[in-house]
Amino acid sequence: MTAQGFLPDEDFKKDLKPPTMSRSRNQLASSYAPGSFFTFEGGRGACLAMPDKSQPTDEANISSATRDQIITRLAEVWESWFGRAISAANGGRPVDPRLCIDQRLLRDGGIVRPLGLTNLAFVNPLRMSYVPAPLTFVCNHCGLFKAYDTPAELAKDRRSFEAQACRSKLGRTCQWRQLDVVFVHWSGEWAPAMPGRWEWNDADAELRLTRRVCALCHGDRFLLHTQSPRIGEWSFQCANPACNDRRDAWRQNDKLTTEVLAAQSGSVIAARRMEPISYRASSAYYPQSEQFVVFSERDQSLLDLLQEGRRRALGEFIADQFGFGGALPTIDEMQDILLQGGHEARWESYENGVRMRKFAEDMKQTDLVKASENELRKLVEGWFADGLIAAKAELPDGLRGQIARRAEFSSRYDPFSLSVEHEALRRSKLSKTRDDSGRSPFVRFQHLDKDLAPKDSGAKLRQEQETARLMKKLGMAELGMVRDFELCRFTHGYTRVGATPTLEKHGTDLPVRLRMFEPLDSGRRPVYVVTQANEALYVQLDPEAVYNWLAAVGMANLPAWAPSDEVKLGGRLLEIAEPFGRFFSALTEADASTYRYVYTLLHSYAHVLMKSIAEFSGLDVGSLGEYLFPADLAFVVYRNGTTMDLGNLSSLWRNENNRFLGHLLETSTHRCNSGSLCDLHGGACPDCIMVPETSCIAQNRLLSRSVLLGGNAPREDLTHRGQRIPGFLDLLNAPPS
């Protein structure tokens, strides 16, 4: 794109506001978030996205409960990122906190200071500003190089682009193109190509741009040699024909790192050196996003369980959810609970029953005494069944310890947080009854509502019976469609070169700095929030089938459990849950682990379901997302988008229903076109079960086709390395011996 294409015909004014662009909200909160490089349709001209500073700010329409969830997640994300980045080896030198995370999040002494509501702006990404960048240009013929610091400088010099005589041929003017290469660094900084280089000047104690002019003739015009296919081998040369100051390579140092490491600048050249890459490369920009199930206002009590200092309350919730019972409250304690909860009538019924029993005892009516005691027992059981009273929670010591180390799991993979989120989903969707229109918030496919069922009652019954049969063969205890799966995704910052807190360079771990977005005019830092309520498929696996499969594979730490036990299998899984680390830093090859295998099973099943949905519905795999609830043996596959939901998943079930389920049982569904190349390396590759990173919640880790249909053990399993493990579906559908 020519320089003129960026600028209006009238003189460019310094106070002219950057233009804005409109894309889908998901795109603006990711690919076009502030700090990203992009080109418009046709690939002509590179631009840099910036926060839209229009007034008033487009605030996200979210509840206070959702804001609280975002604040909680952000604090965990920042602290987790910092802890991982500052632990980088860095060649044996201590890591400076300023190279780990945005300085706005640091207190004196290198302690993370999470920001609150007064410092953050929750923005609905409707528009994003942009400016042309990098402002570097090169002639296609002679290699003459031009660079500008601001669009205003470029505007003033625009006429020179039209009149510049080309050195390659007499009478021809230069043919300009915007240079599509920038320098980036894992500190999150970028720089345009230039002959100069940033160095630290000890005498003046400041940064200085050296070598900006020719060392021989002091000229400031240069040629850029771009003939080499390797960007790193490009070079600058003085444009003065009488001078031959040739540079072997072009290099740039990161300003921030050079300043932070000023005292050791000479000995840490590799840490300061920036990397030249195309601005189209993914490593030029990694947006950092999180997502969670939205809590309704009425479920605020559940959200409170995840707050700091609520360890005991969370433990009581887990005990009640997974069957870790304890001593029953005394009758006096039950009375207090009922009266404090406003259930005076329930307590009066009990008192009347006590009086009736006393009367029968006085009259020595044995049959009446027994009948009265039965009625009293039914009343008390009703209090427990209705959730008015619960047994006192008594968690095992090991499970208390697991709750105490929740910070090691990180919210995205924390089984305790996910259990709370699953309960919020159950209350708001899974257990809700249908409305007046006959539509249910959650439709169980073996018990269809009017909207999804065939019109003929006989056909409806036959379809439901076949669905129930296939669900059993697939090991599913629950299968249905959530009509409005409410999810919140927010983007809070970005990184460059690496997407995780550490990066390996030349055998050394280096910290990757997490940057916040540039502030708005109010001084607050934007957090781009996208909420959605789209159709989703919910699956919960049969715990008995899962346990039998785990036993068949062979786990050293498989807990003792039976379907008749009061404690659910999920409770036993929580006792032995392992943290993977927020960025899978703790995930290494190890002995076969029960919790890892359960997560791998759910994750692999979700990916197979996503691929099948794409095949039958017409949706692209990249337009789908997943959410896993490991302790509840459940997962959700949802349509990921902010445009109108056209009911693709509803249509899928109406049109394909049991043919779709049967497809999940076919051997061809679980086959990889790469054959043995994939099979011998854990059964997961981009040709089969992997999905785009934007759709995967776990970076395509803990995945294997083997856990579903059998094959070589997953790559993380050392116990069964080189051995074949039975698949979950294989075991369920094996002929009786």
Q: How confident is the model at residue 6 (pLDDT cuts 50, 70, 90)?
A: very low
Predicted TM-score of the model (pTM): 0.80
Residue with tokens 């991982």: 84
Average confidence (pLDDT) over 703-708: 94
- CB neighbours of 304 closer than 8 A, spacing ≥ 6? 310, 313
Name which of 123-127, 391-395, 601-605 the model is least confident about: 391-395
**CA 240, 241, 242, 247 torsion-angle sign:** positive
Task: Encode pLDDT of 543-594 as tens digits.
Answer: 999 999 999 999 989 999 999 998 999 999 999 999 887 667 678 888 999 9
| pLDDT at residue 42, rounded to an integer | 66
Task: Encode pLDDT of 239-293 as tens digits.
Answer: 888 886 666 568 889 999 988 888 665 556 778 899 999 988 888 999 999 888 8
Please check whether residue 164 is in contact with residue 175, taking contact to mean a CB–CB distance below 8 angstroms.
Answer: no
pLDDT for 202 beyond 80: no
Please check whether residue 663 is in contact with residue 563, taking contact to mean a CB–CB distance below 8 angstroms.
Answer: no
User: What CA–CA distance (Å, rounded) separates 53 from 17?
Assistant: 9
More confident residue, 246 or 358: 358
| pLDDT at residue 11, rounded to an integer | 44
User: What CA–CA distance (Å, rounded) separates 150 from 156?
Assistant: 10
Instruction: Spell out the domain ranges in the chain.
Output: 135-286, 328-390, 441-485+530-732
Question: From the DSSP assignment, how many helices (H) and strands (E) are in the chain?
Answer: 22, 28
User: What CA–CA distance (Å, rounded) separates 559 from 569?
Assistant: 9
Q: How confident is the model at residue 727 (pLDDT cuts 50, 70, 90)?
A: very high
User: What CA–CA distance (Å, rounded) separates 127 from 76?
Assistant: 28
Specify the amino acid at residue 296: S
Q: How confident is the model at residue 328 (pLDDT cuts 50, 70, 90)?
A: low
User: What CA–CA distance (Å, rounded) separates 123 from 60?
Assistant: 5
pLDDT for 117 beyond 60: yes
Task: Encode pLDDT of 74-101 as tens digits.
Answer: 988 898 899 889 988 766 678 899 999 9
| pLDDT at residue 500, rounded to an integer | 86
The whole-chain average pLDDT of the chain stands at 87
| pLDDT at residue 436, rounded to an integer | 62
Other CB atoms within 10 A of residue 387 CB:
8
Task: Encode pLDDT of 41-74 as tens digits.
Answer: 766 688 999 999 888 889 999 988 889 889 988 9
pLDDT for 4 beyond 50: no
User: What CA–CA distance (Å, rounded) separates 380 from 368?
Assistant: 19
User: What CA–CA distance (Å, rounded) separates 448 from 442?
Assistant: 10
Task: Identify which of 84, 88, 507, 95 has the alpha carbon closest to the alpha carbon of residue 260.
Answer: 95
Other CB atoms within 10 A of residue 116 CB:
10
Average confidence (pLDDT) over 168-180: 87
Residue with tokens 């003792």: 560
**Angle CA 463–667–621, to nearest 5:** 75
Tell me the Ramachandran region of residue 722: left when phi exceeds 0, alpha when psi lies from -120 to 50, beta otherwise: left
**CA 80, 86, 89, 90 torsion-angle sign:** positive
Residue with tokens 């949706």: 619
**CA 406, 412, 416, 421 torsion-angle sign:** positive
Task: Encode pLDDT of 442-460 as tens digits.
Answer: 999 999 988 888 999 999 9
pLDDT for 102 beyond 70: yes
**Angle CA 280–285–290, to nearest 5:** 135
Specify the amino acid at residue 356: M
More confident residue, 18 or 267: 18
More confident residue, 373 or 637: 637
Average confidence (pLDDT) over 107-131: 89
pLDDT for 513 beyond 90: yes
| pLDDT at residue 14, rounded to an integer | 46
Q: Mean pLDDT highest for which of 201-210, 310-319, 419-428?
A: 419-428
Helical (H) or strand (E) element with 728: helix 728-732
pLDDT for 205 beyond 80: no
Tell me the Ramachandran region of residue 475: left when phi exceeds 0, alpha when psi lies from -120 to 50, beta otherwise: left
CA distances from 563 to 91, 324, 469, 635 (A): 53, 15, 20, 21
Please check whether residue 428 is in contact with residue 619, taking contact to mean a CB–CB distance below 8 angstroms.
Answer: no
pLDDT for 13 beyond 60: no
DSSP string, 192-230: E--S-EEEEETTTTEEEEE--S-TTT----EEEE--SSS
| pLDDT at residue 2, rounded to an integer | 38
Would you state the structure tokens that stand for residue 156, as one six-digit string?
């003033």
Specify the amino acid at residue 647: G
Task: Encode pLDDT of 634-659 as tens digits.
Answer: 999 999 876 666 778 999 999 999 99
Task: Identify which of 732, 215, 277, 663 has the alpha carbon closest to the alpha carbon of residue 472.
Answer: 732
Task: Identify which of 624, 727, 721, 719 has the alpha carbon closest to the alpha carbon of residue 671.
Answer: 727
- φ/ψ of 656, rounded to 5, equals -115, -35
Of all residues in the chain, the percent with pLDDT exceeding 70 is 92
Please check whether residue 560 is in contact with residue 581, taking contact to mean a CB–CB distance below 8 angstroms.
Answer: no
Reduced to 3 DSSP states, what percent helix, strand and coil does the chain have, rounded to the nearest 5? 35, 20, 45
Residue with tokens 């994750």: 603
User: What CA–CA distance (Å, rounded) separates 140 from 724?
Assistant: 58
User: What CA–CA distance (Å, rounded) separates 723 from 703?
Assistant: 17
Indicate the Cα dihedral angle 174, 178, 179, 184, nearest 10°: 160
Please check whether residue 632 is in contact with residue 602, taking contact to mean a CB–CB distance below 8 angstroms.
Answer: no
Burial class (CB in 10 A: 0-12, 13-18, 19+), 77: buried
Average confidence (pLDDT) over 333-341: 83
